[in-house]
Amino acid sequence: MKRYFYLFGTLAVLLISGALLLQTPAVQDTLVQREINQRMSNTPEDLFSDDALRVTLCGSAAPMPIKGRAAACVMVMAGGKFYIIDTGNRSTNNLGLWRIPAARVGAVFLTHFHSDHMGDLGEFNMMTWAQGRKAPLDVYGPVGVKQVVDGFTLAYALDSAYRTAHHGEEYLNPAIGQMIAKEIALQGDSATVLDDGNLKVTMFAVNHAPIHPAVGYRFDYKGRSIVISGDTTKVETTITYSKDADILFHEGLSRNIVKQMEVESGNTGNDQLKKIMFDIQDYHASPIEAAEVANEANVKELVLYHLVPAPPNKVAEWVFMRGVDSVRSSGVTVGYDGLTYVLPIDSKEMYQEDLNDR
């Protein structure tokens, strides 16, 4: 018994000593320095290796408030660069947490001009400029993207001038801090946006009426392919341009849950929110419809994103996914921020990881 008391006393002394040490400035500084070194030296350069096409979901939610999720954003990595499809609110914060190197940015592609798909454009431009982007930021999109880029440029004009005045043109060159709008007019239902011989990006029309234009994008790189639907109903163009793709990121809205939200909004006297919950049900695809699109396009993996509403727990996810198994029993994932796929070149394999675990 005395030995147990001795061991307990020794442990208590060690714990007290440790706690006292943590109050010492020298120890605190050492721990902070170690954390800074670890974070600033741990850039995920392997994501940009030329051996695979990679994709990360940097925003899986819709406008509805939800913890731990940014609004719509997908990052495609190919040929040593990364490309951002939609800059939803809070997505830039995710990219910073994952230490994505700004110098490797290729371009931004916008699917349409709802706020939850472009709300972080100004922040993304500013942050990548401040962190060492080497050239102006190209922003591709359908007709209307110039107005959006011009608006963010005007809104951030004072901020940009302050930063150059403070840090100097050698480090924050205002010419590099610019965005360049690349407005693409569809030829029929599609247009080639970018083609460098290895990476081809195709824009295609989708249905998000009354929002027009609204588009999706297909990325083809050395035999591997990724499609991002943007906001849309179940539509033939998504099926056509997703044909035989490795991964389809398709938006999804649970009409069951949103209908309940509509009814409850009315019960609480919020007629405006009730009207919005009613209206949004007819210009989004349900998870079941997204699964049908994936099946008809012969897609290997379907990832649901722009989740309306994003399920906060497993029970809500079961409700959100109700009926999907009867349409597509495998190859379906409910997306989350950080979900990453690696598609090796000259292979049919794909691997999954979570960037939050790095």
Q: What is the pLDDT of residue 23?
A: 76
206 and 268 in a single domain? The answer is: yes
pLDDT at 43: 84
Dihedrals phi, psi of 70, to nearest 5 degrees: -90, 165
Are the C-beta atoms of residues 121 and 108 closer than 8 Å to each other? yes
Question: What is the model's pLDDT at position 26?
Answer: 76
Distance CA 102, CA 43 (A): 11
Q: For the chain, which ranges sit under pLDDT 50?
A: none
Name the burial class of residue 75, with classes exposed (0-12), middle (13-18) and buried (19+) by CB atoms within 10 angstroms of its CB. buried
Are both 2 and 58 inside the same structural domain? no
Beta-strand pair 215-221/224-228? antiparallel
Q: How far is CA 240 from the centre of its chain?
A: 24
Task: Burial-class residue 353 by CB neighbours within 10 Å (0-12, 13-18, 19+).
Answer: middle
Write out the residue range of the structural domain in which residue 278 sits.
46-357
CATH of the domain at 339: 3.60.15.10
Domain count, the chain: 2
Cα of 208 vs its chain's centroid, Å: 20
Are 321 and 241 within one domain? yes
Using only the alpha carbons of the chain, give its radius of gyration. 23
**Do 249 and 269 share a structural domain?**
yes
Amino acid at 249: F
Residue 280: both structure tokens together: 């949004």
Structural tokens at position 183:
């407005």
Same domain, 10 and 155: no
* pLDDT score at 34: 76
pLDDT tens column, 18-76 = 666 667 887 677 767 777 677 766 789 999 999 999 999 999 999 988 999 999 999 99
Considering the domain architecture, whether residues 121 and 267 belong to the same structural domain is answered as yes
Given the structure tokens 């809104």, which residue do they identify? 155
Clarify whether residues 61 and 99 are in a common domain: yes
Q: Give the DSSP H/E element, type plus range, for residue 35.
A: helix 25-41
Residues 24, 90 share a domain = no
Same-domain check for residues 108 and 31: no
Q: What angle do CA 120, 126, 129 make, to 5 degrees?
A: 135
In this structure, the answer to whether residues 150 and 4 fall within a common structural domain is no
Same domain, 342 and 261: yes
Residues 225 and 346 in one domain: yes
